[in-house]
Structure 1
């Protein structure tokens, strides 16, 4: 879950302590081009104050008008559709005829909000099942493979929490920027740092700090297709230890800091161990997209830009595979 959606739940928890009506708005379906994807959230108060986003702004304006004029539901959730006609698409600034389906949910119970925030703070995925007519809510553990949103006429199911993991090797300055930025992009971040002197200066909140050798950290994480591993220690011995295990894993991204020359030498070193040519070829080094980055924050941006690119490719591939399966079955 990205930092915008996390702030929605923190705000929701706070606003439920007031006497004002509060609604949680969830994007449940999109058609065509749309500003935000299913699962995107905003929380709206009856006086028109809101946090979060479900579009570029025009739909938010309409929701504020409806909240202030008393047009939003108060006893059950309601499905609202924006952009069905060409006129609506133009009015709400939806690109290329895009359509959004939203669930507008009046929130009165704080228990499930506390459950979700507790799960997210503990880096757990959690699923919430909402009965649309009665507003009854039940939370349960979820898996990375669970769909973000599922909806029927009776029930809305949404999965919250970090779906992607990032293991950073080294607790240096670049790692600080990378860890902070990655959390805004739905990553559960862990940092491996075996050097005690480096640990003392680490102060990034909500990051798991692993005081162990890099190869042990990779093995302990059990990387899967939703895991990225980035080696940033500047120490070839430590970085190479992580890469020897990471390149054999299912991680979708393995990168290492260093120049082209240093990474060429690194590949020669790795070839001396039990890695195949294909496994070594998986290494992204120099790490990140080539955007001319030099400073620690620029390097962090370059790394995250490459992760965004690869995640989008992963998403498009998954969508195409699902479409092919549905076509064969239909």
Structure 2
């Protein structure tokens, strides 16, 4: 059950009597053997929680799966879930903030909101910001991203400091217009953050668009 939930598990075999114990692992590790035991870890190294089904989510989930992520999709809206067609993705129908709690994001997890609906996105994002998730972000324009921050500060007692980890608009600027292009942009940013690559400010969507307007 733990593996199905995307958790990293450590399996220890005592060489003296063959006793096997399972425990949740804090981080990935290579197979190790000594005179007393054999220890190995199992499960996906990284996980992604997507909030909101749709074409963009399908492309992003597919790219994430190929990149080694275990992917969970949350959408309480039956009309959006009915068209979902990406195999190997766990589906949950609970409200997004409850999905974040159940997902238990850790430092190997990312949470991406794609619904454009504040009633679904905002509480999930706030919940995710309280976790160790290495990436928390939401799709949307610069205007929508700023409106989201203002809502969170006005209605949810947030501050600029508490929202510093919230990414939006998400993705790196590649002039993307179509869902596949936007998914490439978002996945590239997620992988850069995962791999501790500091991207130049001009690659951030908001900064790049502002620079183009000035030019």
Deviation at 1:126, TM superposition (A): 4.7
**TM score, norm. by length of structure 1:** 0.51
The answer to which of 212-221 and 118-127 deviates more is 118-127
| Shift in CA distance, 148/215, structure 1 to aligned 2, threshold 3 Å | same
Gaps of 5+ in 2: 198-215
Could you tell me whether the CA contact under 8 Å between 1:218 and 1:242 is conserved in 2?
yes
Deviation at 1:236, TM superposition (A): 2.6
Residue 179 (structure 1) aligned with residue 57 (structure 2): no
Could you tell me whether the CA contact under 8 Å between 1:248 and 1:275 is conserved in 2?
no
Deviation at 1:219, TM superposition (A): 2.0
Could you tell me whether the CA contact under 8 Å between 2:30 and 2:40 is conserved in 1?
yes
SS across alignment from 2:88: coil
Take 1:153 and 1:123, find their aligned partners in 2: how far apart are those partners? Answer: 28
| Shift in CA distance, 124/223, structure 1 to aligned 2, threshold 3 Å | closer
Could you tell me whether the CA contact under 8 Å between 1:167 and 1:192 is conserved in 2?
yes
Structure 2 residue aligned with 1:170: 52
Residue 159 (structure 1) aligned with residue 41 (structure 2): yes
Structure 2 residue aligned with 1:193: 75
Residue 143 (structure 1) aligned with residue 28 (structure 2): no
- CA deviation map 1:211-235 (0-9, x unaligned): 1111121122222222211000122
Select the structure with the greater relative contact order (CA < 8 A; seq sep ≥ 6): 2
Q: Aligned Cα RMSD in Å?
A: 2.9
Structure 2 residue aligned with 1:234: 116
Residue 310 (structure 1) aligned with residue 193 (structure 2): yes
| Shift in CA distance, 174/294, structure 1 to aligned 2, threshold 3 Å | same
Aligned counterparts, 1:1-330, within 5 A: 123-127=6-10, 141=22, 143-151=24-32, 157-272=39-154, 273-313=156-196
Deviation at 1:244, TM superposition (A): 2.3
Take 1:176 and 1:197, find their aligned partners in 2: how far apart are those partners? Answer: 15
**TM score, norm. by length of structure 2:** 0.76
Q: How many residues align?
A: 193
